[in-house]
Each structure stands twice: as structure tokens, then as C-alpha cells.
Amino acid sequence: MSRELLRPALAAGADLGASRVRVVLLEAGRIVANAERPYAPPPPPARRSLAEVWATAALAFQRVAPDLLARVDRLAFTGLRGAVVGVDPLSGRTTAVYPDVEEASLPAAEAVAERLGASAVALTGCPASPLSGLPKLLLHGDQAPLWTSLPDALAWRATGELWLSTPMALRLGVLTADGRDVSSGLLRRLGFDPGKLAPLAPSGAPLGALAPAAAAQLGLPPGVQVVAAPGDLPCALLAAGRELGSSGHLLLACLGTTTVAITPAASGLAAVLPTDVTYEILGADLPDGPARAIEVSTPSPLAARRAPEPLLGDALPALAERAATAIRRAAAISPPDVVVLTGRGAAAPGVAARIADLVPHPVVTLADRDLAARGAALVAAGLGTPRASVPRRAVRV
């Protein structure tokens, strides 16, 4: 047997972000390659075609050495959690990728908020927010027979099998609060046919094998197993724990255009949370339901600043204070052993030190833009979440 055949297989993760696609390859949980490719203009938030997202992902993979790509045997996509795509499996046609931030869906979001109010979180595990997927489904739902998330749409493009992973579905606002099933009655009352959602697949479940034509475009071997993964921040939380080698309770605070604090849910946590706290699905189904995390988010002073602009001193105190507030809210429900700061704002001068003064927990900074892609690769490799059983059915082209 040749030395090449004895080399261990690699797992790949791709993060479909707002401005670029990032790719990571892991060997036994260790990064062996990473690459990225920005989208062509216009900048986010912008509607893009699924073909453009796929082509950008292919270009990112093609920046990795071919000998490493040839060793990949598992792949997972993660990315924006409120973006949706309509798919016609028979014709192969898709709608635009409606992004997580979309001005056109604001009236629909306001209508959902007016109908559901504070009960939205208790009913669906997701706030009635413009960032969720439900307003976009209500606005654009008649454009396609089936709907799914952006990462799941790319998995369909890769395998020909259409699913909606439960972590992404929860952030679309279409599941029951426990993350186990589609909230069919609620969706019908709001005017959306639940039969238009792609079949559900739990996190960690195999979605299908990489088709030969798709494999050639990505530079990967045909037959690579594509696996369902959580969204970008849950994946980043998984990767941060791996990076720090922590077996304790970790809280990840991402300081970007929105400040988000996310931490694994403590055992025995009540199913109904305060209205400003929401659930995320971290792992596959366990006997008492999916492994979950809680999330607290707040608007950031960075929201009005374009990425190339410097972080000016006038925004930094407010950034630190809002981040500390989100951290304290999440920590009061599920207390962490350590707080990890990441994102653009975490690297700004004095922000981490100020947050450390404001929260009663050890604070560290992790400057790693590949956390979400790395987390997806961990899930693909079975190192991030418990393995799920094979789903029962899919929509296949």
C-alpha cells in the first residue's frame, strides 16, 4: 500500500458569509489548510444568485493544494442563519438568495411582530425579527415550490438532495421552540404553507454524497459525504472550544455589526426563555432533544460603519458596554467558566480590557476569522456534535 493511501482523511468546512466564502480543511481537528474568496460587488447586504455563491465557494476551494483536497472525505456548509433560497427540484431553478438583512422584508417582519409579539420566542424559539427567515418566506414564498436555508441550498447544489437542517430551520422561525418539528399550525395562520419547507435533517446527519460534476468544480473527490451543520455562530462556538482545549463552559461573544453572546445551554434549563434570549441548536438529537445553546444579541455601533473604515474611538466605549450587557444576560442564565471575544470589534484597542472590567468572568480574545468554517469541518468530522442517525427521506433531483 502506498504512503499516500495511508495518509488520514480530511474534513472540510465552508462558511458562506455575507461578504466572502471561507474554507477550512482539518486533520484530526487540526487545521491543515484554509482559504477564502470574496464575492464580487455589490457589497452586503445584497441579493445574490445561488450560482454566484456556488462559484465563489468553488474558487475558495481551488485555492487549496490539490493533494489536500484529494484527501477530503467529509464536507459541511455553514453560514448566514436568516438567509433563504427557493428551489424547484424538478427544473433545478432557484430564486435569488434572500440575505439575512433585507430591507424589502421589513414590512413582513413588522407584521409578524405585530401578530406574535413577545410570544414569538416561546412559539418558535426565534424572535419576530427582520434577521429571521420567516418574513422572507412570507414575502417571497410563492416564487418556488420548496424553501431551505443558504447552506442547505449549497448542499443540494453539491449532492442533488434537498434538506433543511434543524439548526438553520430554528433560526428561520419555522420550528416549534424545542427544535423538534415544523410549527405547521403557526405557519398556516401566518399565511405560509409548511409543505413548502424542505424535509428536516438534524445537525450532524449525512445529507448526501458529492456528485461527480460538483466534485470536479470544487476539486474534491466524488462521493464525499456532505453533512448538516449548525449556523455560523454555533459553529464558531464549537471551534472556539476546540481551539482553547477547554472542557469547561465557554461563552463566545462575537463583536461585529451585531454583538452576539452564545453559550451552551445548561442542563435543566427552562424551555421558555426571556424574550431577548433565543435558542440555537448545537448538536444532533439526544434523548431529551437537540443539544442547544442560548444566544443574546444587541445592535452594535459598528452596524453603520463599512468594514474598511477604521474603528474610531467614539464607538469603542459603547461597543464594549453593549457587549458586556449581552454577555451578562447570557451568563446569568447559563454561567460560563470563560468568555471568548471574537469578531472585528474584539481586536479594537482597549475593547477587551474594558469588557474584562465589566463582566465577572475571565476574558480572552481569539483572533480567528475561520472559526465558523472550522466548526463546520468539526461537525463534518464528527468532532463537534454527537452523530445523528441517517435521515429517512429527502427531495432528490
Residue 264's pLDDT is 87
The pLDDT of residue 306 is: 45
pLDDT < 70 stretches in the chain: 1-6, 246-247, 266-276, 284-290, 300-314, 385-397
User: What does the alpha-carbon distance between residue 34 and residue 351 come to, in Å, rounded to a whole number?
Assistant: 28
Same domain, 182 and 71: yes
Do 252 and 392 reside in the same domain of the chain? no
Q: Are residues 62 and 126 in the same domain?
A: yes
In this structure, the answer to whether residues 221 and 247 fall within a common structural domain is: no
Whole-number Å distance between alpha carbons of 158 and 161: 8
Task: Please indicate, yes or no, whether residues 361 and 269 belong to a single structural domain of this protein.
Answer: yes
Residue 68: predicted pLDDT? 98
Residue 383: give its domain's CATH number.
3.30.420.40
Domain hosting 249: range is: 232-369
Radius of gyration of the chain (CA): 20
Residue-wise pLDDT for 5-53, tens only, equals 567 999 999 999 999 999 999 999 999 999 999 999 998 888 999 999 9
Asked whether residue 342 falls in the same domain as residue 286, the answer is yes
Residues 150 and 22 in one domain: yes
186-201 per-position pLDDT tens digit:
999 999 999 999 999 9
| Claim to verify: residue 300 and residue 286 sit in the same structural domain | yes
Structural domain count of the chain: 2
* 39 and 134, same domain (yes or no): yes
Whether residue 241 contacts residue 214, with contact meaning beta carbons closer than 8 Å, is answered with no
| pLDDT at residue 308, as a whole number | 43
pLDDT digits (tens, 9 = 90+) for 176-189: 877 889 999 999 99
Q: Which helix (H) or strand (E) holds 59?
A: helix 50-61
- Assess whether 163 and 249 both reside in one domain: no
pLDDT of 333 reads 87
Q: Is 257 exposed, middle or buried (0-12, 13-18, 19+ CB in 10 A)?
A: buried
Task: Give the per-residue pLDDT at 278.
Answer: 76
Whole-number pLDDT of residue 386:
36
Let me know whether 195 and 116 are in one domain: yes
pLDDT confidence of residue 288: 55
Distance CA 357, CA 355 (A): 5
Asked if residue 389 and residue 281 are part of one domain, the reply reads no
